């Protein structure tokens, strides 16, 4: 009896609020009609004005379509733009779903040239059966081989026709590649001085302040951990290249390659002095100016002071 009265009272309350059985059905029918009208209107807009990208990305027709949108339904330009943000691993996975899109040569060409900026094969007519996806795999394998054994890595690149047997081509490859292990690269350049010479000439130090140019140089050609003949060779080559790139500045300051060599050594020693936690009594600006001008008397005091300020504010030149 009590349950029956409760149902009657509940039904009356629902009818007053418009949620009775008939009211609920009428509301549900109205909602479905509104959705149907909206979908028809949207379809007409798509037919009249082309594919509505925003609607395509937001629409969810079924639970199976929730998540990633089908890239094949998008314009090719938009699909390629989305895939261009993927790395090689993700692009290989994407090719399992969108084979034609993810295997496009332009995408793999972009991956190759963004990682290995220069290869001899880029400037040649591609052989039969060539693909940039295959080239990417070979470049990746060759880089791993180089990082284990530099000589074997270079020989691998040459055997695949990726690099020509030329010091200049090898130097360009090293200059435009950031995946090579710097310790192995230092060993290789120490043994291949002909490649080192061509690598130094690829640097352009025009209108650069001396400490900044030295930092850029050591970012590509890492300095050895200890002083020795190789470090002296690097500084000598840098000094001549810096003077060749800034002839007007050298005449204005009265500097020669030998004077630049002295300044570079002074900057390295100052960098160690200011950044090393083991040095308690840091070299002052006045001491650096006095010691540097004692070794190179033609250098102005203001110029040497600016060198000190650069190291003090920015940091080590060969870090």
Domain with 267 in it: what CATH number?
A: 1.10.1000.11
For residue 166, pLDDT beyond 50: yes
Give the count of domains, the chain. Answer: 1
| Residue 193 covered by a domain | no
Average pLDDT of span 100-109: 80
More confident position, 60 or 119: 119
For residue 9, pLDDT beyond 90: no
For residue 50, pLDDT beyond 50: no
In angstroms, rounded to a whole number, what is the distance separating the alpha carbons of residues 71 and 69? Answer: 6
- For residue 11, how far is the Cα from the chain centroid? 67
DSSP letter for each residue of 87-140: -HHHHHHHTTTSHHHHT-HHHHHHHHHHHB---GGGGSPPPTT--HHHHHHHHH
Q: Is 8 helix (H, G, I), strand (E, B) or coil?
A: helix
Please name which of 185, 298, 277, 203 lies closest in space to residue 243, comparing C-alpha atoms: 203
* Mean pLDDT (the chain, rounded): 81
pLDDT digits (tens, 9 = 90+) for 288-313: 999 998 887 778 899 999 999 999 99
- For residue 275, how far is the Cα from the chain centroid? 28
| Residue 40 covered by a domain | no
Buried b (16+ CB within 10 A) or exposed e, 50-61: eeeeeeeeeeee
Show the domain range for 216.
203-318
| Residue 313 covered by a domain | yes
pLDDT score recorded for residue 19: 44
More confident position, 57 or 108: 108
For residue 85, pLDDT beyond 50: yes
| Residue 129 covered by a domain | no
Q: Is 309 helix (H, G, I), strand (E, B) or coil?
A: helix
Question: Around Cβ 254, how many Cβ atoms within 10 Å?
Answer: 11
> Which is it for the CA torsion 148, 154, 155, 161, positive or negative?
positive
pLDDT band at 154 (very low <50, low <70, confident <90, very high): very high
The answer to whether the CB of 262 falls within 8 A of the CB of 242 is no
pLDDT score recorded for residue 49: 44
For residue 57, pLDDT beyond 70: no
| Residue 277 covered by a domain | yes
Above pLDDT 90, what percent of the chain?
49
pLDDT score recorded for residue 23: 45
The one-character DSSP state at 178 is -
pLDDT digits (tens, 9 = 90+) for 194-231: 999 999 999 999 999 999 999 999 998 988 877 789 99
In angstroms, rounded to a whole number, what is the distance separating the alpha carbons of residues 257 and 239? Answer: 5
- State which of 1-10, 16-25, 44-53, 105-114 shows the largest mean pLDDT: 105-114
CA dihedral 23, 26, 27, 29 (to 10 degrees): 160
The one-character DSSP state at 70 is -
- State which of 54-58, 73-77, 130-134 shows the largest mean pLDDT: 130-134
| Residue 23 covered by a domain | no
Average pLDDT of span 73-91: 76
Please name which of 148, 211, 147 lies closest in space to residue 174, comparing C-alpha atoms: 147
pLDDT band at 255 (very low <50, low <70, confident <90, very high): confident
For residue 109, pLDDT beyond 70: yes
Q: How many helices (H) and strands (E) does the chain have?
A: 18, 0
CA dihedral 248, 253, 257, 259 (to 10 degrees): -170
pLDDT band at 261 (very low <50, low <70, confident <90, very high): very high
| Residue 286 covered by a domain | yes
Please name which of 211, 146, 212 lies closest in space to residue 185, comparing C-alpha atoms: 146
More confident position, 143 or 104: 143
In angstroms, rounded to a whole number, what is the distance separating the alpha carbons of residues 199 and 171? Answer: 5
| Residue 73 covered by a domain | no
């Amino acid at each position: 009896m009590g349950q029956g009265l409760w149902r009657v009272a509940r039904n009356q309350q629902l009818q007053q609020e418009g949620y009775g059985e008939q009211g609920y059905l009428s509301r549900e029918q109205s909602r479905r009609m509104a959705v149907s009208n909206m979908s028809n209107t949207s379809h007409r807009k798509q037919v009249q004005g082309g594919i509505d990208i925003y609607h395509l990305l937001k629409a969810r027709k079924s639970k199976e379509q929730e998540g990633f949108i089908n890239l094949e339904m998008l314009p090719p330009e938009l699909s390629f733009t989305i895939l261009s943000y993927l790395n090689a691993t993700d692009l290989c996975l994407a090719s399992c779903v969108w084979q034609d899109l993810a295997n496009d040569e332009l995408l793999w060409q972009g991956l190759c040239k963004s990682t290995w900026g220069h290869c001899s094969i880029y400037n040649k007519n591609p052989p039969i059966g060539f693909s940039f996806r295959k080239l990417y795999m070979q470049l990746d394998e060759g880089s791993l081989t180089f990082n284990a054994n530099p000589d074997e890595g270079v020989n691998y690149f040459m055997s695949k026709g990726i690099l020509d047997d030329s010091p200049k081509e090898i130097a360009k490859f090293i200059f435009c590649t950031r995946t090579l292990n710097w310790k192995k690269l230092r060993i290789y350049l120490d043994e291949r001085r002909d490649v080192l010479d061509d690598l130094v000439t690829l640097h352009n130090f025009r209108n650069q302040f001396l400490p900044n140019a030295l930092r850029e140089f050591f970012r590509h050609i890492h300095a050895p951990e200890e002083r020795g003949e190789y470090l002296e060779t690097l500084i000598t080559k840098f000094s001549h290249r810096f003077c060749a790139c800034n002839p007007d500045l050298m005449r204005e300051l009265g500097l020669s390659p030998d004077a630049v060599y002295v300044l570079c050594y002074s900057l390295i020693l100052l960098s160690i002095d200011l950044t090393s936690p083991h040095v308690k009594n840091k070299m002052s600006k006045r001491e650096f100016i006095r010691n540097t001008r004692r070794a190179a008397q033609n250098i102005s005091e203001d110029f040497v002071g600016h060198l000190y300020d650069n190291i003090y504010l920015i940091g080590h030149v060969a870090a």
